[in-house]
Every structure is written in structure tokens, then in C-alpha cells.
């Protein structure tokens, strides 16, 4: 389409408003569930011209308790309460993980990694101990698996596991953890608040 080609031509010259406005909804052939295939259609655009955003973050333990939730740029509020939202999120992730492994046409290496819709992308990372890190970002972000892994090893382990006053199966109350996580996420290249919010 005309707008698509224009965008591609403009990308190399100067950051254009068209590139910033597009949230990826005009790219054809977008799969809804990119769980098994690793192709990322959005990587055609260079990172310097597209603003990427992180919307929010959930942390669940092995039993489904939501240990931590924070959002930075949430555009639409849920119609349900927080507890219901957490239960829904956990249940959905649990089910998708099991579908992905049972319906896989090939041998599975990592299992469920992320899913994309036309407006946002949900990234998932699970540790061997059953801790689930879930992050919603916009579509122009690539793989966040390493970021989530680093969040686990350098923030969760340091400030929650090593804190004797944080019990591991309760929601996290440590201010230090909250501040360090916030600092870490804000410093990521993928976190850039869209102009106008």
C-alpha cells in the first residue's frame, strides 16, 4: 500500500511522524500468536525511528498468587477488579502454555514465549522455580526474554529472595524492590514514553 511504501522510504532520512503514529496495525499477514515462530515483522524498522513502549508488568508465583503488578502507560482501564484481572491473566497464561506444548507440530524447545495482537504484545518468562514474569509492550519491541531474565536475576533474587523480611509466597512489599525495578525498566531502550501521554 502507498502509506507502507512511503513509510519505508522515509525511515532512512528522518524520523517521521507517520512512523511514530503507526502502531503496526497496517502491516499485513500479522499472526496473532507468534508462540512458535520467531519471525518478528516489526524488525524491518530501525529502532531509532520507532518509539517503543512498555505498558505494564505482572509477577506471579508458582501457585498463582500475584506477587507484584505495576503499570506505566496503561491506556485502557479494565472493567473488572484487580483480583479478577490477576486470576484471569494467570489462568490464560497457564492454559496457553499447555495448549502450546500439546499442539506443537515439532519438538518444543522453549515453549510459549509471547503473543501479539494488533495493538500490544505480551512477553512471558518462567523460571525453573515456577515464577512467571509477564510484560505487555507495544508491537515494535523484539524479544524481551533476556530483559525478563535479567529482571529475575539482578532484581528479584537480590532484593526479594535475599531480604529476610520478604516472604516468598506473599505479595512483595519491599520499597527497595519497587524502586529498583522501576529504575531498571525506565532505563531500558524499549521504554520510551510516547509523545503526548
Partner 1 sequence: MADEAVFEFLHMEMVAHIHREALKDEKDQCISKLEALGFRVGQSLIERFTRECSRFKDELDTMKFLCKEFWGLVYKKQIDNLRTNHQGVYVLQDNKFKFLVQMSTGKQYMESAPKYLAFPCGMIRGALSNLGVNCIVTAEVSAMPACKFQIQIQRN
Please give the residue ranges that form the binding site for partner 1 (CB under 8 A): 158-159, 162-165, 174-176, 179
d(CA 59, CA 86): 10
Q: Specify which residues 66 forms β-bridges with.
A: 60
CB 153 to partner 1: min, Å: 13
Q: How far is the CB of 184 from partner 1 (least distance, A)?
A: 15
DSSP 125-192: EE-TTS-EEEEEE-TT----HHHHHHIIIIIIIIIIIT-TTS-TTS----HHHHHHHHHHHHTSTT--
CA 138/CA 68 separation, integer angstroms: 21
Q: In whole angstroms, how close is the CB of 62 to partner 1 at the nearest point?
A: 19
Name the grid cell of 192: 520510551
For partner 1, which is the closer residue by CB, 171 or 189? 171
- Give least dist CB 164 to partner 1, A: 4
Amino acid at each position: 500500500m502507498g502509506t507502507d511504501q512511503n513509510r519505508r522510504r522515509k525511515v532512512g532520512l528522518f524520523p517521521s511522524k507517520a512512523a511514530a503514529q503507526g502502531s503496526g496495525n497496517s502491516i499485513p499477514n500479522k499472526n496473532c500468536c507468534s508462540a512458535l515462530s520467531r519471525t518478528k515483522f516489526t524488525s524491518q524498522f530501525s529502532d531509532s525511528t520507532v518509539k517503543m513502549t512498555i505498558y505494564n508488568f505482572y509477577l506471579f508465583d508458582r501457585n498463582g498468587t500475584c506477587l507484584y503488578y505495576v503499570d506505566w502507560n496503561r491506556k485502557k482501564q479494565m472493567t473488572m477488579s484487580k483480583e479478577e484481572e490477576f486470576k484471569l491473566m494467570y489462568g490464560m497464561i497457564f492454559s496457553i502454555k499447555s495448549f502450546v506444548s500439546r499442539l506443537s507440530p515439532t519438538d518444543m524447545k522453549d515453549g510459549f514465549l509471547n503473543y501479539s495482537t494488533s495493538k500490544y504484545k505480551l512477553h512471558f518468562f518462567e523460571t525453573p522455580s515456577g515464577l512467571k514474569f509477564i510484560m505487555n509492550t507495544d508491537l515494535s519491541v523484539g524479544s524481551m526474554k533476556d530483559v525478563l531474565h535479567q529482571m529475575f536475576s539482578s532484581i528479584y533474587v537480590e532484593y526479594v529472595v535475599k531480604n529476610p523480611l520478604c516472604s516468598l509466597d506473599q505479595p512483595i512489599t519491599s520499597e527497595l524492590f519497587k524502586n529498583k525495578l522501576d529504575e531498571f525498566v525506565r532505563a531500558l531502550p524499549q521504554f520510551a514514553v510516547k509523545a503526548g501521554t
